[in-house]
Structure formats: structure tokens, C-alpha cells
Structure 1
Amino acid sequence: MGLAVFAVRPGNAVPTSQKTLPATDSATTPHRTRLYLKDGSYQIVMSYRISGKLVHYISAERDGAEEEVPLSLVDLDATHRWEKEHSPDQASDTSASPEPPAIDPELLKEEADRASLTPEVAKDLRLPEQDSVLVLDTFHGAPELVPLSQNDSDLNRNTGHNILRAVINPLSSPHQVAQLKGERSDVQLHVASPVFYIRVGDDTVPPTGGTPLTVDTHGASNAIKTDPASSSASDQYVITRADVRTGVRDIASFRIGLLGTGQSQEDIVETTSEVLPGGHWMKLTPKQPLDFGEYALMEVISDKVVNLSVWDFGVHPVAPENRDIIKPEPKRPLTLERRRPE
């Protein structure tokens, strides 16, 4: 016949049925814990187990006596919570690797969006926010970003994105469609495979106030209009080799319909395009190395329309360094400065 057990706070007598257990080796002695009761009191025990409607425990306060208490009087939630908070393993894990603070997903997204505006294109070299078209060059073994200006012989040079639309007759033979002043571009690259970066979807391009222009394209439509606009990720770009003559560089037409077919065209180098994460920049890579000479990067707007406002450059490995370049900026290590007492 079992005896009723009445739980009280430590230090008070607890009438219960009990029997003394043999002493155990210190290496196998259970860890002391608290068995909480629903009235807020607790017993310090070496171990406990639930058997039906009773909880059997070994008292740490009464020399290892085995006692029992009705399960209905035991607060198991409080008991488990105390065990979790005071577990030696839990304490060591918490001190060794505390949980990092939670970061708002919206803040992470905003930070990723900001970083995508100025992506890294080489070690410690990032694209800027203010320029629309840049080219990655290498000078004396170091990477550099060179801004490219648009040149259409009729409008002032600018580093924005002007569009001078020209409809090219797909059946006409190659002929001059644009003429650039000077025999040499201000920008001279030093590598045969430069990489171009074009800002796309940029709503910050300021209006130029341009008015419609009429340009003689020798067989193309003369309904030409200039307007400021940003590049689209769907636009194509080709590199055309300029025909250098006295005081000018001539740009010839080409067969737009042959682009992407694998058929080569004289003085035309096609490019592969890739939109960088974030959708703010497009990366253009020539499909073949560029020989020494003068070139222009031309935008193909549709299957019949090109942008005659081109970005001109040359390829000459021994040319001097370009102006207004952007160089890598290594991150400076954080240092603590000594402060003198005031």
C-alpha cells in the first residue's frame, strides 16, 4: 500500500515513503536538478522518472532517499525550463557560439540593392554610379575602368546615353553611316579583349533638350531623331572598326539580320551580353580579340534601327594611360588609435 506524499519547500519535513539507496560512484552520480511543484516550491533531486500517475525521484537533500509524489502536483514545464537554462552543455554552447542577432530581411534586400549599383568587376575595383558606359582596361598589369563618351559628330560629347536613331536599309551594301571627327579617339585601350559595362534601366539620365536631327545615311531612312534614353537589357551591341581617313573616322553600315547567325561581317565584332545581379548593369564581352586600330561601340535598337551616337575608342597597347580613370581602392584595415588623457 503506497503512502501519500506532500511536497513542501526545501528545508521543511516531507512525510513520504522512502528507502535509502546504496551509495553510487561519484563518476556515475546523476547531476543535481530541481523538481518543481505547481505551488512554486521545488525539491533538489539527483534524478526523477515518471511512472503512471507518480513521479519517483532520488532526493539530494535526504541522502539519496527514493521518494515519490503525485504527477498532478509536479510542474514539468518549469522543471524542464530550469534544466535547459542550467544545463552545463547548454551553457558551454551558448558561451562558445552565441546566436547572432536577427537581421530584418528587408534591410538585407536594401543592402544588396545598394551593392548592385556599384558591383565589383575586379579586385577592389567597383563600377561608379554616375557614368553610363565604362570599359575595363589593363595598364601596366593593373585593372582600370575608363569612362567612354558618346560621339556622333553633331552633338556635344557626353557620358550619358543619347540616342540618334537611324533606319538602315537591310538590302543595301555597306556604306558610310557616320563620320567621327579626328583620326584617333581620346580613349586608347591597352588590351585586345576589353570588357564593357553599360548602365541599364537608369531613370536618372538627365534630359538633353535635343531636337530631331536629319542625317544623310545614303540609302537609309532620313527620319532620324535624337532623344535621351537609358539602355535596355534587350538591346544588342556590336563593335565596328572605323575606317581612318584624313582628319576623320568613317563608320560603315552592316547587315543587322546577320547578327547572331554565325556569319561574319567585315569590320564587325559581335559581343555577348550578361545582365549583372540587380539588373543595373550589362556586361559586354567581344566574341573575338580586337586588332590594333580605331573602333566604335554601336547600339542595335531593333532589326532595322541603330544608334548612330556611338562610343568610340582605340586599341593601342603602347598608348599612354587614359585620363579620368577609376583605379582599385583596397579596403583600409581598421586600427585603434591611442587617445591621450585630457
Structure 2
Amino acid sequence: MPALLRGKKLVLKDGTFQLVRDYQRNGERVRYLSAERGDWEEIPAVMVDWDATAKTAAAEKSEEDALAKKIHAQEQAQKIETVMDVDASLQVSPGVFLPPGEGMFVIDGKSVKPLEQVGSQVKTDKKQYLKRVLSPIPIVPSKQNVQIPGTRASIRVRNGQTEFYLREAPADPDRTTPIVKSSRPGESGPEVELVRATVKGNKRQLESIKSLFGEQLEEKRNTISIQRWEIAPTVFRFTLSEPLPPGEYALAERLPDGMNLFVWDFGVDPVTGAKPTTPLKKKN
């Protein structure tokens, strides 16, 4: 099917018209660029119905304006629908909305990134185990390390002064949630800790646990203070008091029997040309 020709109508007195891309009136002659043939042609000016040509041009301009308004209205309606799809009631910053669905999200400047849960591993500390084996009396406490495989998280942020949002599902025993827990959660809302990981070999260590005769003696982890705000039913905001320095981190939920082994990991990359950030104080 040939493409539709677009141009102006040069209306003639006999009721026909020439479809032109442009025209020039020079005295008794009219020179026009034919939209059909692509050549400049001439006809006597007396053959042109100038009033009809002007009225036709005005009518076409009105139709074009109406079409442009209709398209603009459709685009605006589509934008409104898009905003409603991401829940306009949860605007986390000007023009930035929390995506739908459950999970943990990090705000990095004007972008919202979902954090994926990764499973951490509990490994026995080999040096501590060797001490216990060599000791004549088994009073050396055992030590286990909670680790994440790999040296870097896949999600990276550049804005150390970031925020986190956790959306949980309303309580429903028949509903499956994508948020994984290693035991039953508490009933007072999510207790989330921000832990700075220590890279050791090809793993990121989050916590070390010492125990003796089956009793836990000590938990050691580098936690950073965050504050929790409930901004909507089952939606929680976590804020920092200071920017995070570059490094590897994980958000871990505290459960009745300890740290959830399924954590949300991320890394903070240094900003080029930025001054070194003062390390954050450990949470007591």
C-alpha cells in the first residue's frame, strides 16, 4: 500500500486541487512544489481559488490541533495509569514511587532497586576447631561464622545516604510470600539489622558465634544503626543517621532464634572524586 501523501491543498476554481508541499505567488503566476511528482510546476494565478485555499488550510490546521490534543490526552491518561500501577500512595521521594510487590527495596538517588535475598551459610571456624581438638580438656568454645558466598553483591549503590523500604504481605496463612525466613518471625514487626560484611577469601562474613557445651556465649557482627518507621500497613522505612562508606553490606531480619540466614545484600561503591567518608560507629 503506497504511503499517504501529506501537503497543502492549492484549491482551483474548477473545484479540483493540487496537493503541494509549498507554493509561491509571483505576480500572475503561482509556482508550487508538487507533492505527487516532486517537481516545481507553474500555473496562472487566476486559476487558483484563494478564498477556498485559505479556508481549507484553516480547516486542516484545526483538525491537526484537535488530533494533537487527543494524543496528548491519551498520553497523560497512560501516565496516570502507570502511576496508579505502582501505588501512588507510596511516593518515597518527589517523582519516585515504591514498586508493587513484596520485598526489600533500596533508594539510590532517583532510582528504586529491589534487593534479592541470598542464603548465607554457617561454617565452623577451622582454627577454633583445631584448638578444641588439641586441648586436653574440652573447654575451648566452638566458633561458627555466618557467610555469604562471593566477594561482591550484585546490587550496587553510589549514594551512601540511602534508605530502605520493606513491604511485607498482610497476615494470611494460605498465601505464599517471596520473602524467605529461616524460622518463624516475631509478632511485633520486622526487626531488621544493617550489617557490614568483612570480605575474607571469596566470602563475605556477617557474624561469628561462639558457643560452649551447646550454650551460645557470644555473637559478633558489625552492625550499623538504622531507624524503622511504619509508613503504611505492612510497609516499613529504614533510615540511616550517617552516609554509608564504600563496602559490602547486608540487611538481616532478627528472628526469635537469631539472625535470618536469608539476607538482602548490596554494596556501596566509592564516588569518583569524593572525599573519604568517616567510618560509621558500631551499634552497641
Name the TM-score class by shorter chain.
Answer: 0.3 to 0.5
If you compute each CA radius of gyration, which structure gives the higher value, 1 or 2?
Answer: 1
Q: Which has the higher helix share?
A: 2
